[in-house]
Structure 1
Amino acid sequence: MGFPTLKTYGATPWKDSEKLECVMVVPENATTATFTFRAPSGAWFDYLPGQFMTLELPVPGGTVHRTYTISSSPSRPLSISLTVKAQAGSIGTRWMLDHLKPGMQIKAFGPAGIFSFAQHPAQKYLFISAGSGITPMMSMTTWLWDVGQEPDIAFVYAARKPSEILFRERLEHMANRVPGIALHFVVEELDPFRAWPGYRGRLNQIMLGLMASDYLDREVFCCGPEPFMQGVRDMLTALGYDMNRYHQESFQAPVHNEAEAPELDDTVPEEGAKAEIIFSVSGITAACTETDTVLGVAKAAGLNIPSGCTFGLCGTCKVKKTGGNVHMVHNGGISDEDIEDGYILACCSHPMGPVTVEV
């Protein structure tokens, strides 16, 4: 299509009736790459930061359609970029990483979606993401940078290890030049022979308070695997955040319009709702409410459960639950294996109806 100039792209915005040409592939890590496309007709791209596109991919065995959030910004309309990460069992994304090269043309649909701060403007933002869920956050952050608007973004990103932090250099470039982009990275494990001065472990309430102490004043946008987003919702609810100001985009089912947006009907302790705790070893049954903690009810009943921090960090108050359900939002004081085996932290577990514990 020749050397692109603003005059070349002065025609009309791109419509999904024409294919896009892949013009650049940038490897991000072993399982992730950024694919940049241009329209052969010279059309330019008009979309909202945070929206997604759907690609028609000619994989072996038949065509598949896969949806990806746009990682570029509409402030740079001459091209459009998608950053894709192959998961276990990926078909379309794996084909892209192995076969999609510059010069090839792909049918695309969109852009679409309602996950954008253009729909919910605010003075201050809290972007929380994990894995390739960083892509819409990158688009929105780049937009604010490019339009010259002084941003106020607390940018929180969780990765498996430091070498898998996507867009780290680009984010640091922007953050080094404006005071309003505060970067906070948290990783689960370290790279060999590489020092890591940042947060380590699973994102929790304590980390969030340190990263953005004014989180109650910020509009929250979250994107990542569903278990990650569930954890974020649990944290914010427990911290008293106004969930009407919380917005998320799912890996599995991107939302095209408000009518498709799922209800986030999370189970949370309800003020005044009745519950009871059966302390099976002591033979005591105590009436309580869902907003009480197992530890608080035990103390009120004259029982001693050893405890320390009282906010789910130290793990001292771990007890075995043998019946019923609790709502537990901890800060790393218990492992997934212990939870699967029926253990809870008494200090941050709320009974959802009748619950039996070995105390």
Structure 2
Amino acid sequence: MKDLNTLSSAVWQDGEMLECVSVVPEMPNTASFSFRAPSEAQFAYHPGQFLTLEIPAPGQPGGVVHRTYTISSSPSRPRSITITAKAQPDSIGTRWMLDNLQPGMRIKAIGPAGLFTNALSDARKFLFISAGSGITPMMSMTTCMWDEGRDLDVVFINCAKRPSEIIFRQRLEQMASRTDGLDLKFVVEEPDRYRPWTGYQGQFNQLMLGLMAPDYLEREVYCCGPEPFMQAVRDALAGLGFDMNNYHQESFGAPVETEADQPELDDVVLDDDSSAEILFATSGVTAKVAETDTVLAAARSVGLNIPSGCTFGVCGTCKVKKTAGEVHMVHNGGISEDDIDAGYILACCSNPIGKVEVEV
């Protein structure tokens, strides 16, 4: 029997292997892998950070691959550490783990590392937005705040293909059922067969954001998911006047360790002082406007009528053909990707960049 007075208080260092202690299936092709330090050292990290695992990969150079995984457990529970991994069709490392990693096996890890954490934030109100397995750092940060007994004020949004693919749903619902400070919002693309879904459905957009977190301007935002998803979130926030200094993101593909490694975001930032010119080709009328003016507003300013309804990119009434130039469009589902590829835009939510020509 172990002496409680001699249990290790050392902090795990990545020179020591990790020993797998459990593999918990979360959903198809997704599992949570928990590890301990054979020396019984404890784990110290910030919630939201990641580990890099060295995974056997027969046929690959050196016989191994290195893959980064966000830690889904909380540093408030330091005797074990957990990563949650989802295998994509072309996965090598994660596929090996799902097929082969079992309790008792040991694996090399590097870290923890990463800057994506709310541990050093002075904010009191948070908005966590994630898609798919991008939920893992949000789970770590939420669990840590919960364990520390903090007065939670978190709007937690997760987007998934269907309800059965929402990772950690039951655990999050259990926490939310014990406090009014954790507000869960799930968005799915489609319901599971024979199981009605009464929540949000479709692609995450500005309208959903306003309904889910009416006070989003007062919150610090943390976002994680595929790059197109994060781009859509950034566009939605910027278009609503959010202070992007309070926005933080992590990506599946490139977690960073230092500020110098942070990628530059090349988002379009509209400027009142930047001018644009729109030629309404069918009418032969030209409007000179600011970038912050929409095509619809520009048309009205020169006496042209583009039929419109919602003026928020939902109904699709103001769809027009763009024949030249570029616009920045942040819509809310009122236009299909096929129409966009064919050159159509929604006039109510499209801002001209430079010279633009439309068929009006």
Give the alignment of 1:1-359 within 5 angstroms: 9-61=7-59, 62-359=63-360
Q: 1:172 to 1:135 in 2, by over 3 A?
A: same
Alpha-carbon deviation of 1:324?
1.0
Contact 1:46 1:74 in 2 (8 A): yes
Structure 1 Cα separation of the partners of residues 181 and 259 of structure 2: 30
Alpha-carbon deviation of 1:254?
0.3
Aligned residue-pair number: 357
Q: 1:190 to 1:218 in 2, by over 3 A?
A: same
Q: 1:138 to 1:100 in 2, by over 3 A?
A: same
Structure 1 Cα separation of the partners of residues 22 and 71 of structure 2: 15
Contact 1:128 1:220 in 2 (8 A): yes
TM-score by length of 1: 0.97
Q: Deviations over 1:239-281 (max 9, x none)?
A: 1111001000111110101121122231122112011111122
Alpha-carbon deviation of 1:23?
1.0
Alpha-carbon deviation of 1:121?
2.7
Alpha-carbon deviation of 1:130?
0.4
Contact 2:8 2:39 in 1 (8 A): no
Structure 2 Cα separation of the partners of residues 231 and 6 of structure 1: 51
Contact 2:308 2:318 in 1 (8 A): yes
Structure 1 outlier segments of 4+, above 3 Å: 3-9
Q: 1:256 to 1:344 in 2, by over 3 A?
A: same
Structure 1 Cα separation of the partners of residues 201 and 97 of structure 2: 32
Q: Deviations over 1:155-192 (max 9, x none)?
A: 01111110000100000000000110000000011111
Q: Deviations over 1:98-147 (max 9, x none)?
A: 11111111100000011110132311100000011100000000001111
Supply the RMSD in Å over aligned alpha carbons: 1.4
Q: Which runs of 5+ in 1 are unaligned?
A: none
Structure 1 Cα separation of the partners of residues 230 and 3 of structure 2: 41
Structure 2 Cα separation of the partners of residues 287 and 328 of structure 1: 18
Structure 2 Cα separation of the partners of residues 305 and 11 of structure 1: 69
Structure 2 Cα separation of the partners of residues 222 and 120 of structure 1: 15
Structure 2 Cα separation of the partners of residues 35 and 5 of structure 1: 28
Alpha-carbon deviation of 1:197?
1.2
Alpha-carbon deviation of 1:91?
1.2
Q: 1:9 to 1:303 in 2, by over 3 A?
A: farther
Structure 2 Cα separation of the partners of residues 132 and 225 of structure 1: 9
Alpha-carbon deviation of 1:95?
1.2
Alpha-carbon deviation of 1:14?
0.4
Structure 2 Cα separation of the partners of residues 12 and 297 of structure 1: 66
Q: Deviations over 1:193-237 (max 9, x none)?
A: 001111000111111111111100011100000000000100110
Contact 1:25 1:35 in 2 (8 A): yes
Alpha-carbon deviation of 1:88?
2.8
Structure 1 Cα separation of the partners of residues 312 and 246 of structure 2: 25
> Which deviates further from its counterpart, 89-98 or 187-196?
89-98
Letter in 1 for 2:112: P
Letter in 2 for 1:27: P
Structure 2 Cα separation of the partners of residues 294 and 11 of structure 1: 63
User: Residue 31 of structure 2 aligns to a residue in which SS?
Assistant: strand
Q: Deviations over 1:320-358 (max 9, x none)?
A: 112111111111111122112211100000001111111
Structure 1 Cα separation of the partners of residues 141 and 345 of structure 2: 39
Structure 2 Cα separation of the partners of residues 312 and 5 of structure 1: 65
User: Residue 143 of structure 1 aligns to a residue in which SS?
Assistant: helix
Contact 2:277 2:289 in 1 (8 A): yes
Structure 1 Cα separation of the partners of residues 2 and 85 of structure 2: 25
User: Residue 152 of structure 2 aligns to a residue in which SS?
Assistant: coil
% identical aligned pairs: 67
TM-score by length of 2: 0.96
Alpha-carbon deviation of 1:7?
5.5
Letter in 2 for 1:10: S
> Which deviates further from its counterpart, 276-285 or 44-53?
276-285
Structure 2 Cα separation of the partners of residues 349 and 215 of structure 1: 23
User: Residue 145 of structure 2 aligns to a residue in which SS?
Assistant: helix
Contact 1:150 1:178 in 2 (8 A): no
